Each structure stands twice: as C-alpha cells, then as structure tokens.
C-alpha cells in the first residue's frame, strides 16, 4: 500500500511532523546570571523551567516559561539528539532531530538555505554543540515532555569533583536485564563543586510496578513507531531527491526557539566523549 501511495507522486506534497511536546531544561546555569532575561527577577540557579513549545504561533502562550521544582521524577521513553549553535543577534543554527552521530539524513536550519549532511559532518563544519533530547513521561506534570540535556549535563567533566552523575554515567549503571525505563529517574539541578556553573544530577529512583511498566512499554512502542515513521518518510524523500539536490522542505518542521538560548555553562566538551 505504501509503495502504491509513493507511485502516485502525492507524497511529494505531504508533510509529517515529529510528535510535539513541551520542553524542560535547566536554567540559571552560570552562577552570576541568575535573573530572568525578560523580567529581571531573580531565578533559582540550577532550577528547571518548562517552555511551552506546543502552542500555536498565534497563541499568547507560545514559548511562555513556567518555573518548575528543583527536582523532577520521570521515566525515560526515548533518547534522541540534535545539534545547535546559539549566535547572538542571528538565527540559531539547529539540525533536525536524529538518533546517532552517524545518521546521514540530517538537515541544518538557520542559514539562507538548509544544509544537509551527516550529523558529524555538520557538527564539525559549523561548530555545533550536541544536545540530548530525552523523551520522558513525567507524572507530576502530566504526560510526555522533551527534556533537553546539554553541555556537561550529559556527562561529568574530566576535572569535576564530587559524585554528580551526568546522563551518560547514569545510563551506564544499568547492566544485564536492568534498563532505565524500568525505573523512575530523578533529575536535580545541583551546584558543581569549585566551578562557576550548575548542572544536572541523574539518580535512579524506585523500580516501576508491573502495571506501571506495562503502561510505560506501551508509551515507548507508540512513541518509537511515530518517530520511526517520520524518519523513514523523509529518508525516502531525500533518497528520491538525490544527493545533489537542495533539501528544501524535506524534513519535518522543528521547534526553533524564539526565546534566547541559555549561555552554556561548564567546561568545553570533547565531541569524541559522546558515545553515540
């Protein structure tokens, strides 16, 4: 059936989008920058914020920010990544969401024309930084959210002291038949000892009951199926266009921040330290 639909040519005018969820990220990363950029009011350094990215562009709630508790409990459903570079006074460079640094069908937006290449090629050519996008079920907030993990939130700095766990250290703790989605993951904004920034500490929480795990597994399957459908759709379209064509309108619309990106905190990351 899909082959027949493709043969009609109608798919050339079709557009699929990734599932849209509000974003959660750490705020007040740099200790000396603990004021809200719009209101000037103090914010809690190392606390979390929710950015409403799902409202329509015409809505007054578009990109509104809600302050969240310092600690959140979530269940990891899927981990993806994107690349970006915040340029003051210019459009942010950001790639389409993808799975690994080896992915080929990646498009970067933010210049006059989209640029296509492998994730690693685009990162190196445009000096982009990697962000992990954690799709997570957060019961206290109701439903699925995209938790953005960047900089040294991804892993502990080489010179960093203390027992904080970045995302990668946390995931490596699960061995054998244990997996992250079987447990609650507790994330907390913490002050990094002897440094001038805050980061995220990842900890294992309670193990899910069989009933909870069954519901989570259903969410994982549904989310994976929806994302895979979009990825495969645009991979086919890119292949049909050929390597030499411009990738105009060939990837799902991505969420381009209309709010300024937080300044990066922490030490510079070696891209080779990122395992996927």
Q: Kindly state the helix (H) or strand (E) to which residue 196 belongs, with its residue range.
A: none
Q: How many other CB atoms are found less than 10 A from the CB of residue 200?
A: 26
Instruction: Give pLDDT, residue 57.
Output: 67
Give domain status of residue 183, yes or no: yes
Alpha carbon distance 131, 124 (integer Å):
15
Question: Residue 247: its pLDDT value, please?
Answer: 43
Per-residue confidence (pLDDT) for residue 262, from 0 to 100: 45
| Whole-number pLDDT of residue 30 | 62
Of 84, 106, 86, which is closest to residue 96 (Cα–Cα)?
Answer: 106
Whether the pLDDT of residue 238 is over 80: the answer is no
Buried b (16+ CB within 10 A) or exposed e, 58-75: eeeeeeebeebeeebbbb
User: Quick check: 31 pLDDT over 60?
Assistant: no
Asked which of 54-68, 83-97, 187-201, 216-230 is least confident by mean pLDDT, the reply is: 54-68
* Contact (Cβ atoms closer than 8 angstroms) between residue 187 and residue 170: no
| 87 or 201: which leads in pLDDT | 201
Q: Give mean pLDDT, residues 215-228.
A: 96
Evaluate if residue 246 carries a pLDDT over 60: no
Res 192: pLDDT:
83
**19 DSSP assignment:** P
- SS3 at position 217: helix
Structural domain count, the chain: 1
pLDDT confidence tier of residue 34, bands split at 50, 70 and 90? low
Nearest to 202 by CA among 154, 266, 273, 140: 154
Q: What is the mean pLDDT of residues 222-245?
A: 78
pLDDT in tens, 168-196: 999 999 999 999 999 999 999 988 876 77
Q: What's the pLDDT at 198?
A: 87
Yes or no: say if 166 and 202 are a contact pair by the CB < 8 Å rule. yes
User: Rounded to an integer, what distance in angstroms lies between the CA atom of residue 91 and that of residue 74?
Assistant: 32
106 domain-assigned = no
96 vs 257, higher pLDDT: 96
Q: Using pLDDT thresholds of 50, 70 and 90, give the confidence band for residue 270.
A: very low
Does residue 46 belong to any structural domain of this protein? Answer: yes
Q: Are 119 and 128 in contact (CB under 8 A)?
A: no
135/65: higher pLDDT: 135
User: Residue 211 domain-assigned?
Assistant: yes
pLDDT digits (tens, 9 = 90+) for 44-78: 678 899 999 887 766 677 778 888 988 999 999 99
- Tally of CB atoms within 10 A around 97: 22
Q: Which residue has the higher pLDDT, 15 or 140?
A: 140
Domain assignment present for residue 126? The answer is no
pLDDT at 248: 39
- Which residues constitute the domain of residue 74? 2-87+132-263
Report if residue 39 sits inside a domain. yes
How far is the C-alpha of 200 from the C-alpha of 174, rounded, in Å? 19
Which residues lie across from 85 on neighbouring strands? 93
Rounded to an integer, the average pLDDT of 77-86 is 95
pLDDT band for 6, please (50, 70, 90 cuts).
low
Please check whether residue 271 lies inside any domain of the structure. no
Residue 43 lies in a domain: yes
Interatomic CA distance for residues 231 and 237, integer angstroms: 10
């Amino acid at each position: 059936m899909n082959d027949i639909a493709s043969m009609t040519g109608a798919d050339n005018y079709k557009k699929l989008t990734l599932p849209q969820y509000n974003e959660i990220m750490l705020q007040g990363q740099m200790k000396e920058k603990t004021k809200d950029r719009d209101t000037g009011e103090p914010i809690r350094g190392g606390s979390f914020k929710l950015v409403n990215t799902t409202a329509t562009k015409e809505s007054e709630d578009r990109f509104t920010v809600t302050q969240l508790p310092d600690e959140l409990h979530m269940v990891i459903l899927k981990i993806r990544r994107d690349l970006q570079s915040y340029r003051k006074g210019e459009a942010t460079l950001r790639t389409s969401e993808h799975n690994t640094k080896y992915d080929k069908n990646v498009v970067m937006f933010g210049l006059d024309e989209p640029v296509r290449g492998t994730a690693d090629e685009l990162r190196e050519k445009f000096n982009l930084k990697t962000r992990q996008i954690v799709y997570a079920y957060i019961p206290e907030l109701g439903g699925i959210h995209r938790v953005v993990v960047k900089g040294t939130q991804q892993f502990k700095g080489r010179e960093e002291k203390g027992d904080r766990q970045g995302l990668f250290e946390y995931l490596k703790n699960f061995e054998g038949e244990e997996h992250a989605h079987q447990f609650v993951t507790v994330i907390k904004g913490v002050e990094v000892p002897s440094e001038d920034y805050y980061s995220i500490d990842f900890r294992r929480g309670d193990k899910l009951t069989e009933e909870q795990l069954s519901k989570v597994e259903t969410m994982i399957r549904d989310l994976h199926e929806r994302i895979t459908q979009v990825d495969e759709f645009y991979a086919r379209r890119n292949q049909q266009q050929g390597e030499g064509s411009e990738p105009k309108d060939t990837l799902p619309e991505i969420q381009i921040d209309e709010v300024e990106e937080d300044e990066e905190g922490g030490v510079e990351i070696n891209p080779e330290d990122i395992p996927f």
